[in-house]
Structure 1
Amino acid sequence: MTDLPATDLPAWASPGASAFDTKLGLELIELSAARVTGRAPVEGNTQPFGLWHGGASATLAETLASLGATMHAQPDRRAVGTELSISHIRSASTGWVHGCATAIHFGRGSAVYTVTLTDDDDRLLASARVTCRILG
């Protein structure tokens, strides 16, 4: 496993590497196989009623876990999300959504993460579990 500060990101995880992550406004804060943290703005990621979109929660959770699993798979392999279960607890209408993906299993062919999403006041917005398959 390789741990890197988010200030020294590999090309595949750097800002702008993914059009979808760019659209989400994802900012990575910490990147390692064991733990990945990041955030995305509520603005631009809302449903028609002005609330943070549940799909944005799912995207943020799977992205953070997949990045951690890819760090685990380095240098010759990569990871993709294969299963996502998410519970939406509360909504947000302003500020940022902060995510923390924590590894709970590392295997040769898979990695599993729990992901918590919180608002700027550290209130729980969503809780997820993500399984990633290690490829290559």
Structure 2
Amino acid sequence: MIWKRAVTLEALNSMGEGNMVSLLDIRFERISEDALEASMPVDSRTHQPFGLLHGGASVVLAETLGSVAGYLCTDGEQQVVGVEVNANHLRSVRSGRVRGVCRALHTGKRHQVWQIDIFDEQNKLCCSSRLTTAII
């Protein structure tokens, strides 16, 4: 198990109250030994003007997952901040919910690298993102 902090899905979901996470209805749904998963709706909150999932919304989901996963891999008073994020948008989505799966590529003492893959309801890869975080 890579997580250093004990946490429940309920606690993770309460962290999003009153910020962008709740505004976009991002919900943490699964914690496994080496992955964190969350979902987000594809609706008027996350559409771009042409009715497709906005790439920026996908990046919000990716950075949310990577930052929270990064925090779970720290202890004590340590905090995690994103320093670089990129995303390759591979398939459009018009409706439903997308699911992000976050896994560690590197969890060092000063920085971390996270791979976040986002899938549609047919389990087709829609976006592949990478987030680098710094531990402060």
**TM-score, length-normalised on structure 2?**
0.89
Moved beyond 6 Å, runs of 4+: none
Matches of residues 9-88 of structure 1 in structure 2 within 5 Å? 9=11, 14=14, 16-31=16-31, 34-43=34-43, 44-88=45-89
Match of 1:112 in 2: 113
Amino acid at match of 2:105: I
Partner of 2:7: 4
The answer on whether the counterparts of 2:61 and 2:100 sit within 8 Å (CA) in structure 1 is yes
Q: Which residue of 2 aligns with 1:101?
A: 102
> Given that residues 5 and 30 in structure 1 are in contact (C-alpha distance below 8 angstroms), is that contact kept between their aligned partners in structure 2?
no
Contact persistence 1:6–1:30 (CA under 8 A): yes
Question: Cα offset for 1:34?
Answer: 3.6
Amino acid at match of 1:19: N
Alpha carbons 2:5, 2:74 under 8 Å: kept: no
Answer whether contact 2:51 2:94 (CA < 8 A) is retained.
yes
- CA gap of 1:33–1:112, structure 2 versus 1, over 3 A, is farther
TM-align CA RMSD: 1.8
* TM-score (norm. length: structure 1): 0.89
Quick check: 1:112–1:131 contact (8 Å CA) kept in 2? yes
Identity level (%): 31
> What is the CA deviation profile of residues 74-115 of structure 1, one whole-angstrom value per residue up to 9, with x for unaligned ones?
231110111111100011001001001101111111111101
Name the SS of the counterpart of 1:4 in structure 2.
coil
Report deviation, 1:54.
0.2
CA distance in 2, matches of 1:72, 1:32: 13
